[in-house]
Each structure stands twice: as structure tokens, then as C-alpha cells.
Structure 1
């Protein structure tokens, strides 16, 4: 028999990782390296920024450098400076800033930046609940698992459904009890029964449960508080001998509460305060902390035939006001039979989402944390073999005993609705990969690879061997960070969401050199990624944006006090040659003069302008070539160089 007929089911439609690897000791003495040295760009950027010279690029790299080394107070500082610039940045920086703020307990500000992240990343799994309605059958098929389900021996030839564990028993509803018959199907009204777990893991010895809990009308779907001293269960609107109906002559469902007595009997029985004669409240599920009661109802304000709600369980045992879980879960159809497991995953049945037919069972992983923090909810179909073309509902699992239960009226059962059981699959994924140099593609033996949670908490760490390979065994249906680092390189990180099917995932982490070889002839502009030193039109005084870049050169020269450099200024050829030569000469001299004013000895600096005489592309000065030249090509010729003459 269809369960929605049986119980009038009330349903709820519910990087550039600038976190550079730390060296034991920064190489200080140039004499140890004869005619070359190594430059650690992070320290240079920090020195520049601490002097008040900042740019989007500098702040991003500094924020990242602390974020990826879990120095969140410093990360928050530099990300805050980045956000204060009001420049367009990748949404990932909003997310990282929000996480950094949360780690220093600035929750209000963190929420603000998470909202900004959500606005820009509507398609991100962290940003919104997502259920694709395109190709859903193939997606469900891909999510199907190779698990064996068994029809419980205790099932009868009538209706058995809705499972919960209590001590060494399972508690379920069944119409096997005899007595008054339900006119809808001419079967006895439902009562609660128990079955004892045997040493071989099977269940037998079925008995009526709860003494005075069962009445001549329906009882079903029970849930216990963590101490198993309070139970919530579903019953018809029948209390203290009174059977009540609404204005449409319908007897509704209600949730009742019973407390265990000192002699282990159940009583007294109470009706929870938001029950009503005019709507149904049913299918309770208490969370692991005993602080939340989830249930289904068609009370006013529902989105469809029934919705899933939650109410707080207060310390004194009283219940707060019901809260609808919202339109991301509840649809215009039926959502019902909620179950919240030990880690806060919410399971429920629905016919409002794309499925295989009838009621399908869905899950929202990590629901409690996400709902509390107003994070996006992702609804997953449990797929085959748990879901099928008939009604599948009443999911329950115990992560400690690794047992799972659900109810179905699928073909091949013993009665109208049967309880099925299965062992929770030990689903793991293998994350494998290698660490390489991004530019040369050479393997990087000795690199450290860290596996972290989605929020950056360490899980495991390995140091790769000569093959630069790493491997981690991880759980299914979870998000992880995989981060690689090595001395003299900048770390790399990838975010991975594992599927719910066992397989091997291949990664490649590419590290950019953090220490760059410098020697006589090196151009610091290229080494430090210094763009054009811009001057205002027809002027040669140093602008602020140029000053930020020159701070990098200043920091290097202070680090290596015997270094001398030659400043070279170039132009394109879109003015007269004599004019360009004079302009470049003045700009080179202005740059030299700026560095002298900042404390660099004059004898360590030479400067010369080359005008348009040393172009780097085919944008020459002949008019016939002008048509081939874009502004970007001209810009390549308008450059500054800082050539190391002597170390």
C-alpha cells in the first residue's frame, strides 16, 4: 500500500598560493654564491607593503601567503587592505577573507563577505544549493552504488515501515497487530513494534512496543533523545480518549512526547504545543545533541502538500516554535520522513525533485552546519539501489554500527510496505598525483603534500620521493584541499570534491619558483614582475603607482648592498626620435634620482634613456608597419629595465 495513503503522509519538500614555504634560513651572504644570489619575493613584498606601498597584486599575494599557512590574523589584515581598495578581484578572495575573519571570531564581518561571495559565485557548491534538472537520470545512474539490500526477516504480509534504533532493538510501525481496521485499506491500524538484534546481526523476536503508547488508531515513526529517556512519535489526533477531526471531517496526525519512568515504562504522554486539529504534524527525528526536532507538516505557510520543519528542543525539554526549512528544500509537492544522522546530514523523501518515481530519498550533507550558517544546501538523490520506481522513504542509518534501513513498496516485497536493510558502504577515494615545476615540468622530489579539510584543517601529510608522487585515501562525498610546497617554490593548492562512487582521482600540482636566480645581467623588472614604470604624458616625475614598483627594486638593493644596477628607459616610436630619446633619458634619470633619495648610493646606479632605438617587436617606426601594431604591442616597447651590472 502506498504510504501516503496509509498515514496521510505529511511531507517536506526540503593559487598563486603566496603562502610561500618557509626556509630554515634566508641566504644572506652573496659571497657564498660567488656571482649569483636568490631572491625570496614574499619577503620583498612584505617589506614593500609595510612601508605603505601597496597594489592589488601585492595584497593578494600577501593575504594568500598567510592564509595558506594558517596565520589567519595576518591574512585577515592583508585581505582587509585588499578589500579596502575597492578593486575588482576574484570571488575566491571574498571566500578566503570570510574564512580568515571567522577564524578570528569576527563572525558578523565574515557573514558580510560570504554574502558577497555568494553573489558572484552562484554556481559554486559552496555558494548555493544546486539540483540539476538536466540529464537527471544519467546523473542518478552515475551516483548509483554497488550495495546489497536485504528484506528484513521480520516483515509481515501487511505494512511495515519507519525504523529507529533503541538500545539493541529496532522500533518500527506495522499493521500486523489486529484490532480495529483502517477503512482505507481494511488493514488494522498501525502500532509500534520492536525487534531484538541477534549476534549474527539479524533481527527477530517481534513484540509490541511501549505499553500504553499504542492505541486503537495509528502510531508510527518514533525518534529518541540521545539518552533514550524521551521519545517522540506520530499518532492520529487521538488523545485522552478523544478522537478529533478538522472542519473537512479529516482526522489529522500529531506528534506526541513520552518520558521514560524509573521502571522503564513510558509515560506520561504529552501533545507537543504546535499540534493542531486543523493540520498534521508527523515523522519526528531528533538530532544527536538532542537540541533539534525535525518533522513534516502541512501547517499554514507550507510551500506544497507538506514541508519539513525544525523546532529547538530547549534545555528544559520544551519545544520552540517551528521553522520551515525553506524553498531550497520544500517544493509544491511532498517532502516527508526527515531523518538527521549523527554528523548532521539530513535525509528526507520527496516527489518534488527529479527522481526515479514515487517518493525518492534525498540527502543534504552537513545540513545542520550549513543551515545554521546560512550556507548553500546541495540536494543529492541517493540513487539505486535504495531508490527505485516505487515509493522509497523512512531512511535511517547508524554510523557506529554501519547499519542502514529504509522502507519501500517495491516489487518483490513481503507486504504492502517492507523494511529493507543494508551495510553502509565503506566508500573511499584515492587521490593520487605528482608535484612538478610549473615551467620546466621537472618532477620535484622532497616536496611536501598536505591533505586538509575544506576549511583548511590538516588531515595528513607526506613527503614525496624521487617519483614526486603522492597518494591519499579519502572519504566519498566530501570536499578537500590538497596543497603542495617545497623550499624555494611557491605552494600550489587544488580543491577537490570527491564523488560518492569509489574511484581514483588523478591530480597534478605545479609549483612556481619562489627563489629566482639573479646574477650579473639579470633584469630585475622581469624577475620581480615589474610592469611599465608609468609617467604622466610628457612628464618624467615619479607617480604613486610607479613608486610602488620601485619599492621592490629598493628592497633588493638594500638586501644586497654591493649590487649595482643600470636603469634603462625605452619608448615606442610614435613620436619623433629625438623627442623619444630625450623623454626616456629624463625618465631614467628621474628613476635613478628617486632611488638615491631613498638611500641608495649614487655610485651604485647608472641611468640611460634609449628612446625608440631598442624595440622588442616589429612595431617599427616606418608608417607601413603601423597597421600591424596594436596598443598592446606598442606598450611592450614602452618599458623600464633594471639590469644588474655587478653583484
Structure 2
């Protein structure tokens, strides 16, 4: 490592001055010139990494953070472990990224980003298993510059753009070395994905500083938008040299936007930005670093009173917000909140997440909406089938591009019908038919549906429903142990199913003290086994209940148990099957850790294949009804 001469000291000073003034594009140029001459230091690599990270040049940030860690300094700082981990994702090095997140986790145990990573260490599998059938389409409004923050106004697209204004002199933002953002409108055409040539949305709203992120009232006479803090067309900076963002409101009068006023909770000391209105227009959602904030920006909401005044902004809390960036909220008509974040486990850069209106659970929307780069400013139509978002992913026209997406609905023909199935009761050893046995039939909520008596030949007939229903048949015959058999009705025609099933209950002679086929949930009066939301990690309340299962298995050392985990229908079939399997295995893992041999207990995840009610995909059900489907069972299959 070379020492700095006078000329290099001067260049270093200039680079640091640009960096501290947030002129990141100029700082990058100066630092790279120094490195080209053989100079390196912890400060240079930190600042060069940060300058690229703050400009979403994640691959370059990964390069310089990597050199920073190569110096093997004793006190690099925890945040650099996180930023390096994030940047590595942009070059598809998820293995190394996870390794640095684990190091970050050890240093910052209480950090919510570390905790969320620990709870979702298999986040990549989760995200990929939740991939939706979206079709993406590049739209014609994009340029070689940055376009983002789409919204719909009177059926046309309004968005922010740093495109060339056509003037002899363009104002250049030294942070990015790009032109300032203005609001544009592109009228739609009849052809999907194409728009007429974009035009300036409003000369009254655009200024010499940045404007972006519009939210329009339904009747179209009010708009909320983001603008830099400015006075007389000039930036107003805080003590750190930043021109903070503010939210403004404007009204349309006689076809002209005017009466531009800033919202009362704005400040010169923090930013408020990226407004989104609730469907009833009584709540405004936005991003801000106002106190109290968890990170660089958080999602807030504020009530809009009937007289147009505002309540007190509320932080949405640490379920949504982290110590990193949560930004660009969008409140869908369904009540689901969408936002972008780089603090929750994701594919890289900003990912789009949704907060379920029904459960409050936060989940990554998956690919292809999300990528290893920044994906943000999503909007959706009322049916959540079509929308727009912005991304700086590879393959676009410029820095950020707007993409249209639509959800491909899959039409299925699933007929549910009633029929009956014939069965017989036999002696397990001799194979002989056993006459006059009693068969009790239960559904999967353990409701006793009916009882059937076998005839003199040991045969019986039971009504059942197709497809994908689960039943429990309990046979009782004097001199034999009670025998339980489970039946899952498969897909197919009635003839195919009945031919396939060949339903027989084989019974073993003995006393009736055996509990084979019984569910320990009933026997031990177990409470619900809870898991953290969208996680396979057991909730602390689950352990006392599982200890009862452990005690039972120690009391009956020959007993073997199947742990069956079930989910509700929300989320994709594939994801629910995967998650329930993980939860069953997590449950088994705990029981084994308490001294039960692993050959005595098995795990099966059923996903949403055996719902106990009519709460199938998108069915209007209460939370209590969905909760009935989220259950664990402990079935004794040998004793």
C-alpha cells in the first residue's frame, strides 16, 4: 500500500469532500483514480463501497467491500457486513452473502435484520417456492434514464423520469450524475404495453428540483406528490448537507393544478416521501425517517380528517420496518399493503413485499416481480391481477425502468361430488372376514359423522366425498384391538378411484387398551402448536405441549407417532406444502432432541390438501375459520 503524496492527498481530500456532500458520482471517479495509482485504505474502500451502494451499483459495491474485508481490519463496523452481504446477492453469490449475514448476526444479535435472517435462513427456498405466474412486459415510456413511481390518472400513466428535457442546459444531480426528476404523463393506446409519447404532466407541479411519486384521489381533483425541500426553486439543505424530501398536496381547478401546499408533518430535518392513499381515502401511507424510526426509512400512516387536516403519523412497527430501508408503500383496494425493503430477507437490493390485511404477515412477492437488483414502486388494480412496478434489473433501457405485469389465472376443473365406498373388516393374521364389526367415521376435525355396522360377511358401505377429502375409520370388534385407518380421496373419476382404493380394515386380536390410530391432541388435550408467521420455527408456547407428547412416548416406549402438519389455503399450494413439511420436521426435531428415538416418530406435511372446511383459495373466510385449517396432529400408528 503506497503512502499519499501531496497531489494524492489533495485528490483524496476532494474525493472525501464530494462523498461527504453526497456527490457520489464525483466521489467514485476520484477514489477510482487513486486506486488506479496503487493507493488503498480502509476509508477509501468504505467510501467507495458506500457511494456505489447508495447509487444502487451493487456489483461495484460488492467489489470494493470485498477489498475492504481483505484488509482484515479488526473494527470494520457491523453495518459493512450487512451491506457486503446485500451487495453479494447482485452477483449471485448467495452462499457468501449468507456467510456474511451470519457474521452480522453474531455482532448485531438484537438487530431485526439479523433476527429475520435467523428465522428464515432458507429464505431463498421460501421465495422461489412462492413464485407467482406473472407475465412481465416492458412498456414504451422508458428511456435511457430513470423512470419509476408509476400511478394511474384518468386511465393514463403518470410517472417520474430523469429523461432529457430537450433544453440546452439540464440540471444535474451530483448524487447520481443524472438529471433531476420531473413528473410525466403518457396516454394509453389500445395496444397493450404501449403509450403515446410522454409529456410533462404539469408545469405547475414540476420545479427545478426533484418531483416523483404521485397519489391521486378517485375523482381526480387532488394529488399528493414528493418534492425536494426547496425555496424559490433552490434546494434547502439540513446540517448534513441533504435536501430532504417532502410530501405536497395540490388541487385541480379549471384544468390546472394549483394550490400546492406541503403537508404539516413535513420537516427540514427528516424526509417524508412516496405517498399512497387507502381505498376510502381516509389514510395516507408514506415513507419517512422521522422519529420514531427504526432505520433509514420506515413506512408510516396518517389519518386524513374530513376537513382535510391530518392526524399524527404512526409508524407501522417492527413487523414491517427494519434498521434498513422500507419505502414506496402502496395500499391495495383489498387492504393488503405493498412496500419495498432491503431489510427483510430477499433476492437482493430492494424487494417488493406484501402485508396481508387478514393476518398481518409480511411476505416476499417472489419472482419475476423481484430480482437481485432494486424492485420498487409497485401499484396494482383493484383485482390485483394487473399493475406496474419499477426495477433497475439487467435488460432494461436505462437506470430504472417501468414494467407492466399481469397475473395468469389458471382455470381448473375440480368437481366435488358425493359417492360411497365399499370396505371390509378382516383378521390381520388369518385374512378371514370378521362379521358384525362397528365402524365409526370421522372427518378431519374429528367430528363423528356416522357409525356403520358391518354385515355377516364383514362388509360395509360408507358415503364419502371426492376429491381431496380425508376421513378416519375406527373399527371395533369384540376380542380385537380397535383399528384406525385413514382414507384420503384422490383426484380422478369415481370408477378410477374406487378401483384404486380396495378399502380393507385389518384387525389384530388383543385387548382394547391400544390407542393405535388415536390423535394425541385429543388424548393429551394438547393446545394448538404455534409457529412464528411464515416460519418453521416453533413458538415458545409450543414447547410445553410438545413436552406432553415426549412424556407420553416415554411412558409407552413401543409407541410410534406420525406428526402431521397442515396449513390454511392462503398462499400458493406449493409453498403451503413446503412450509407444512418444514413445520412437521421442526416439531419432530424438537421431540427427538428430548430423548425420543428418531425411528419412533415421522413427519408429514399435508399443506392445504386436507382442509377441514370450505376455506379454499380466495374463499371469503374469517380468521377463525382459517385457523381451523392450521393444525398439527400426532397419530399413534404403532403401540
TM-score by length of 2: 0.49
TM-score by length of 1: 0.48
